[in-house]
């Protein structure tokens, strides 16, 4: 059997003007004990009715009730059974009710004696889900509402209600209950009782009231402290989980995604974004984002950073920038319009419903790595709590550390790869150089040995032997010279002599240099398509420029038939640089080799079947020289036998479009031509 009606409700329905009050469980325990002590310490023989929510609560007090039962024959204890609690009549009456009975949610103690009457009639309050985690942490924080009073008439009404409940559960006690009603709760006794009885217990000492207030207040304080502790703990957990997650990865993209996701979820914000940027960036693209359900995505959007007052403030202060109300914040309403970014912010706030935002710069040792933003997207702005700001700052620091670690790891991997490549190159180089030097050396040795062992050799044959030996000796000399030049260039051992020069003049010099070297051979026609007046002067080391041009022309001559054509052209690229092209109508380069031709010792036909001569180092030298002045060099070819075009660029630093100074090409270039001719 179970009754769904609450005793508290029933009593309140019967007592007009009485309002329920809130009590913590700890207060109810103290009050119940105090009331039970009244019975134990007095000579009265009162009616006592106690109702416990569960058998286990009664068990803790059973010894008290055995003592109370020695004082009075009218003692009733109610509880929802858990083990062996049942209806029984012993020292006192026990009444078992079902766990689905309304009594299971309530806490009652009714004491009606001749000298005093007091009751505690409460029911447990349902705690909202949001508070539950704090409250359930402490059983003593459970809350009840109801009436605790020394008012005799109210107590009698409570006693009457309780006795009628007991009569329903234990009908066999009808006579005993009737006796209790007659003795303690008759209408006449109520009338009698309304007359003030001069007993200290009828009028509880104000001290008791103070005690209850104090108990309640300290309980509130405890609850508050508990709540803030729980919030702190929750934040610490969030920080730890973000730190743990971001430190687990060495991939920057993954770090940012994990951070944005964990922070967004943990802090329950509408939108959280992270973007990488540097102090001087004009715009940033949003590529990492968390949004709560129903919030519009900003992924892929471009964020304006130049003249952005929030970004500038974050950089200047290296601290988080708080905007509690985007609609009214001066930085976004006035300053941004003055700086020309007003429209950007207006669109942002309207399109993405941002009413409050936090901008958190991610710094590591003074270097900006990116920015984290939190958006609140509801019509009502919120004021960011200092605790939340501190938490977001701490997370930004952790993200910064994780990013630096990931970058350092990536750099280390790059460095390792470079070192491995360097090691491979070094081994290759030793093998190649050895091979390249041995080949001409063996030819020279064979020729000289033949000449020495056969003094009677025909003069024509001995001449051929001598010529071959000399040619290979020359090849060795060139190889050693090119190799040393390349080593100097790569090792930074070259002193650059920068002068203001005319490019056409350098081209003319390079052409005459090449022609001088190939005096006896028939060679393709070389056209200089530049006209000196059209091009700006350049600031460059002329000797090296002539060297690059000569090497490219030399190659073009080598790989083009005598009836072909070679052309040199120069075009100015928007005042920023000059682009020089050396094109020929020769044998061309396969598409797959356009890049490898710049490798050291690359020769299409292989070193052993070299028909055109050369060291295989010419283009590698050209690339080093061009790289040094900040230019680029590359090759193009429509395919085999369709000619090649070599391009290189010269940045114009302080070049002016004016006539070349007199004697701009000094005597040393003429000397260098002569030297090369030798
Ligand atoms: P080499 O001393 O062998 O000319 P380079 O480094 O100058 O060495 O050139 C490397 C290789 O690139 C050449 O052996 C040749 O196979 C290819 N090459 C260079 N220039 C041209 C060109 N104008 N036409 C076709 N192939 C070329």
560 lines ligand 1 (CB under 6 A): no
In a domain? residue 405: yes
Question: What pLDDT does residue 555 have?
Answer: 93
- 237 located within any domain: no
Asked if pLDDT for residue 475 goes beyond 90, the answer is: no
Q: Do the domain assignments include residue 544?
A: yes
The pLDDT of residue 609: 41
C-alpha to C-alpha distance for 651 and 626, rounded to whole angstroms: 10
pTM for this entry:
0.47
- Residue 567: pLDDT band by 50, 70, 90 thresholds? very high
How many angstroms separate the alpha carbon of residue 602 from the centre of ligand 1? 8
- Does residue 555 contact residue 597 with C-beta atoms inside 8 Å? no
Is residue 210 classed as helix, strand or coil in its secondary structure? Answer: helix
CA 214/CA 164 separation, integer angstroms: 36
Residue 155 lies in a domain: yes
Looking at the fold, whether 526 and 446 belong to one and the same domain comes out as no
618 lines ligand 1 (CB under 6 A): yes
- Residue 345, domain extent: 246-410
Instruction: Looking at the CA of residue 586, tell me the nearest atom of ligand 1.
Output: 24
The answer to whether residues 113 and 125 belong to one domain is: yes
Element (H, E) at 243: helix 206-247
**Residue 559's closest CA among 646, 649, 623, 673?**
646
In a domain, 231, yes or no: no
Number of domains in the chain: 4
**CA dist list (Å): 202 to 35, 88, 116, 155, 351:** 12, 33, 5, 12, 69
Tell me if 131 is assigned to some domain: yes
Nearest CA to ligand 1 atom 7: 618
Pick from 262, 263, 259: which is nearest to 276 by CA? Answer: 259
Say yes or no: CB of residue 553 within 6 Å of ligand 1.
no
Say what the pLDDT of residue 613 is. Answer: 60
Residue 293 in this model has a pLDDT that exceeds 90: yes
> What pLDDT, on the 0 to 100 scale, is given for residue 135?
47
**Is residue 204 domain-shared with residue 337, that is, in the same domain?**
no
- Average pLDDT along the chain: 86
Q: How large is the average pLDDT for residues 421-448?
A: 82
Question: For residue 633, which phi and psi values (nearest 5 degrees)?
Answer: -135, 140
**Mean pLDDT lowest for which of 136-150, 156-170, 370-384, 394-408?**
136-150
Question: Is residue 436 within 6 Å of ligand 1 at its C-beta?
Answer: no
Candidates 75, 154, 160; CA nearest to 119 is 154
Give the model's confidence band at 127: pLDDT under 50 very low, under 70 low, under 90 confident, else very high. low
- 473 within 8 A of 481, measured Cβ to Cβ: no
Q: Is 173 close to ligand 1, i.e. is its CB under 6 Å away?
A: no
How far is ligand 1, taken at its centre, from the CA of residue 596, in Å? 10
Two tokens at 216?
């309640």
Whether 91 and 140 share a structural domain = yes
Q: Are residues 383 and 427 in the same domain?
A: no
Instruction: Answer whether 363's CB lies under 8 Å from 318's CB.
Output: yes
Q: Does residue 637 have its Cβ closer than 6 Å to ligand 1?
A: no
Edge-first strand order for the sheet with 633-636 is 525-528, 565-573, 577-584, 645-651, 633-636
Identify the CA nearest to 568 among candidates 645, 664, 633.
645
Q: How far is the CA of 555 from the centre of ligand 1 (A)?
A: 6
- Tell me what percent of the residues of the chain surpass a pLDDT of 70: 88
pLDDT digits 0-9 by tens, 70-81: 999 999 999 999
Instruction: Compute the distance between CA of residue 103 and CA of residue 4 in angstroms, rounded to an integer.
Output: 8
Question: Do 521 and 432 fall into the same domain?
Answer: no
Query: b/e string for 70-80 if b means 16 or more Cβ within 10 A?
Result: ebbebbbbbbb
Q: Could you tell me the CATH number of the domain that includes residue 641?
A: 3.30.565.10
Using DSSP's 3-state secondary structure scheme, residue 241 falls into: helix
Q: Is 584 in the pocket of ligand 1 (CB under 6 A)?
A: yes
3 state SS of 497: coil
Pocket test residue of 432, 479, 518, 558 for ligand 1, highest count of atoms within 8 A of CB: 558
Cβ–ligand 1 contact at 552 (below 6 Å): no
For residue 434, give the CATH number of its domain.
1.10.287.130
The SS3 assignment for 18 reads: coil
Is there a single domain that holds both residue 520 and residue 624?
Answer: yes
Residue 206 lies in a domain: yes
Dist. CA 217–CA 607, nearest whole Å? 96
Looking at the structure, tell me whether residues 52 and 96 fall in a common domain. Answer: yes
| Cβ–ligand 1 contact at 357 (below 6 Å) | no
Measured in angstroms, how far is the CA atom of residue 498 from the centroid of ligand 1?
28
Query: 521-565 pLDDT, tens per residue?
Result: 788 999 999 877 778 889 999 999 999 999 999 999 999 999 999
The pLDDT, as a whole number, for residue 605 is: 57
Structure tokens given for 497: 């002599």
pLDDT at position 636 over 90 = yes
Establish if 233 belongs to a structural domain.
no
Q: Are residues 393 and 419 in the same domain?
A: no
Shortest-distance Cα residue to atom 2 of ligand 1 = 614
> For the segment 494-524, what is each residue's pLDDT rounded down to a tens digit?
899 999 999 999 999 999 989 888 776 788 9
- In 3-state terms the chain splits into helix, strand, coil percentages (rounded to 5) of 50, 15, 30
d(CA 642, CA 289): 52
Q: How far is the CA of 612 from the centre of ligand 1 (A)?
A: 9
Residue 44 contacts residue 113 (beta carbons within 8 Å):
yes
* Lowest mean pLDDT across 43-57, 220-234, 657-671: 657-671
Among residues 367, 394, 410, the one where a domain terminates is 410
Strands 106-112 and 47-51 turn out to be antiparallel
Last residue of a domain, one of 363, 379, 410: 410
In 443-468, which positions are buried (b, 16+ CB within 10 angstroms) versus exposed (e)?
Answer: bbeebeeeeeeeeeeeeeebeebeee
Please name which of 367, 371, 366 lies closest in space to residue 304, comparing C-alpha atoms: 371
- Distance from residue 615's CA to the centre of ligand 1 (Å): 9
The last residue of a domain, from among 176, 193, 225: 225
Beta strands in 510-639, from DSSP E residues, in sequence order: 525-528, 538-540, 565-573, 577-584, 633-636
Quote the ligand 1 centre to 584 CA distance (angstroms).
Answer: 12
User: Can you say whether residue 92 is alpha, beta or left, with left for phi > 0 and alpha for psi between -120 and 50 degrees?
Assistant: beta
370 pLDDT above the threshold of 80: yes
Closest atom of ligand 1 to 621 CA is 6
pLDDT tens for residues 385-409?
Answer: 888 899 899 989 988 988 888 888 8
* 602 Cβ inside 6 Å of ligand 1: yes
Residues 218 and 340 both lie in one domain: no
Q: How high is the pLDDT of residue 128?
A: 60
Q: How far apart are CA 128 and CA 198, in angstroms?
A: 44
Question: Which residues lie closer than 8 Å to 326 by C-beta, 6 or more apart?
Answer: 332, 345, 349, 354, 355, 356, 357, 381
Closest ligand 1 atom to 584 CA: 23
Same domain as 525, residue 549: yes
User: So what's the pLDDT on residue 287?
Assistant: 87
Give nearest CA residue, ligand 1 atom 21.
555
Instruction: Give the distance (Å) from ligand 1 centre to CA of residue 538.
Output: 27
Is the pLDDT at 461 greater than 50? The verdict is yes
Torsion region of 359: left, alpha or beta (phi above 0 gives left; psi -120 to 50 gives alpha): beta
* 555 CA: nearest ligand 1 atom: 20
Whether 170 and 87 have beta carbons less than 8 Å apart is answered as yes
CATH of the domain at 368: 3.30.450.40
One-letter-per-residue 3-state SS of 96-161: ECCCCCHHHHEEEEEEECCCCEEEEEEEECCCCHHHHHHHCCCHHHCEEEEEEECCHHHHHHHHHH
Q: Is the CB of 159 under 6 A from ligand 1?
A: no
Return the CATH number at 25.
3.30.870
- Is 92 a pocket residue for ligand 1 (Cβ < 6 Å)? no
Highest mean pLDDT pick, 333-342, 432-441, 475-484: 333-342
- Note the pLDDT of residue 319: 93
Atom of ligand 1 nearest to the CA of 615: 2
Identify the burial level of 343 via C-beta atoms within 10 angstroms of its C-beta, where 0-12 means exposed, 13-18 middle and 19 or more buried. Answer: exposed
Length of the chain: 678
Residue 137 has pLDDT above 90, yes or no: no
* Cβ contact 257:281 at 8 Å: no
CA-nearest residue for atom 19, ligand 1, is 555
Q: Are residues 34 and 177 in the same domain?
A: yes
The strands making up 47-51's β-sheet, listed across from edge to edge, are 21-24, 143-149, 117-124, 106-112, 47-51, 75-79, 93-96, 88-89
Closest CA to 333 of 313, 349, 316, 320: 349
Higher pLDDT: 219 or 458? It is 458
Q: Is any atom of ligand 1 closer than 6 Å to the C-beta of 644?
A: yes
Residue 568 has pLDDT above 80, yes or no: yes
């Amino acid at each position: 059997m179970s009754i769904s009606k609450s005793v508290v409700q029933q009593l309140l329905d019967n007592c007009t003007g009485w309002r329920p009050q809130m009590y913590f469980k700890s207060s109810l325990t103290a009050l119940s004990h105090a009331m039970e002590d009244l019975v134990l310490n007095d000579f009265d023989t009162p009616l006592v009715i106690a109702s416990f929510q569960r058998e286990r609560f009664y068990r803790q007090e059973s010894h008290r009730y055995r003592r109370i039962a020695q004082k009075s024959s009218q003692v009733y204890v109610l509880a929802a059974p858990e083990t062996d609690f049942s209806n029984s009549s012993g020292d006192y009456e026990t009444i078992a009710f079902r766990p689905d009975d309304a009594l299971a949610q309530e806490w009652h103690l009714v004491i009606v004696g001749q000298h005093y009457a007091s009751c505690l009639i409460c029911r447990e309050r349902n705690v909202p889900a949001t508070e539950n985690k704090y409250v359930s942490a402490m059983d003593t924080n459970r809350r009840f509402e109801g009436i605790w009073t020394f008012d005799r008439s109210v107590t009698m009404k409570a006693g009457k209600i309780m006795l009628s409940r007991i009569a329903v559960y234990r009908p066999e006690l009808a006579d005993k209950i009737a006796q209790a009603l007659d003795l303690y709760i008759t209408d006449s006794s109520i009338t009698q009782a309304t007359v003030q009885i001069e007993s200290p217990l009828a009028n509880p000492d104000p001290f008791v009231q103070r005690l209850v207030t104090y108990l309640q207040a300290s309980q509130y304080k405890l609850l508050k402290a508990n709540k803030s502790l729980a919030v702190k703990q929750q934040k610490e957990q969030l920080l730890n989980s973000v730190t743990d997650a971001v430190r687990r990865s060495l991939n920057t993209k993954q770090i940012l995604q994990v951070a944005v996701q964990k922070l967004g979820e943990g802090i329950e914000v509408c939108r959280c974004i992270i973007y990488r940027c540097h102090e001087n960036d004009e715009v940033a693209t949003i590529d990492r984002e968390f949004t709560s359900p129903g919030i519009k995505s900003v992924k892929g959007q471009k964020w304006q950073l130049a003249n952005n007052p929030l970004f500038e403030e974050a950089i200047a202060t290296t601290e988080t920038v708080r905007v509690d109300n985007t609609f009214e914040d001066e930085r976004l309403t006035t300053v941004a319009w003055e700086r020309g970014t007003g429209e950007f912010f207006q669109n942002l706030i309207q399109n993405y419903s941002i009413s409050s935002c936090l901008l958190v710069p991610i710094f590591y040792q003074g270097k900006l790595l990116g920015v984290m933003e939190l958006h609140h997207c509801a019509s009502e702005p919120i004021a960011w709590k200092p605790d939340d700001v501190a938490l977001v700052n701490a997370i930004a620091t952790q993200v910064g550390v994780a990013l630096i670690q990931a970058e350092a790891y990536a750099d280390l991997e790059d460095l390792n790869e470079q070192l491995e490549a360097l090691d491979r190159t070094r081994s290759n180089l030793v093998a190649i150089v050895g091979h390249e030097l041995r080949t001409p050396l063996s030819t020279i040795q064979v020729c000289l040995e033949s000449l020495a062992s056969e003094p009677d050799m025909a003069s024509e044959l001995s001449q051929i032997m001598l010529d071959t030996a000399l040619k290979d000796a020359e090849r060795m000399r060139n190889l050693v010279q090119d190799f040393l030049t390349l080593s100097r260039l790569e090792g930074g051992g070259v002193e650059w002599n920068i002068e203001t020069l005319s490019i056409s003049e350098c081209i003319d010099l390079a052409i005459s240099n090449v022609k001088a070297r190939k005096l006896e051979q028939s060679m393709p026609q070389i056209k200089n398509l530049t006209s000196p007046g059209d091009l700006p002067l350049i600031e460059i080391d002329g000797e090296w420029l002539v060297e690059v041009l000569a090497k490219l022309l030399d190659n073009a001559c080598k790989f083009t038939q005598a009836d072909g054509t070679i052309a040199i052209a120069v075009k100015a690229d928007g005042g920023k640089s000059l682009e020089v092209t050396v094109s020929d109508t020769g044998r061309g380069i396969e598409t797959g080799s356009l890049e490898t031709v710049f490798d050291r010792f690359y020769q299409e036909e292989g070193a052993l079947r070299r028909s055109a001569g050369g060291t295989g180092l010419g283009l590698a030298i050209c690339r080093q020289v061009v790289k040094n002045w900040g230019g680029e060099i590359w090759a193009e070819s429509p395919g085999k036998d369709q000619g090649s075009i070599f391009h290189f660029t010269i940045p114009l630093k302080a070049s002016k479009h004016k006539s070349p100074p007199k004697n701009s090409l000094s005597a040393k270039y003429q000397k260098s031509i002569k030297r090369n001719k030798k």
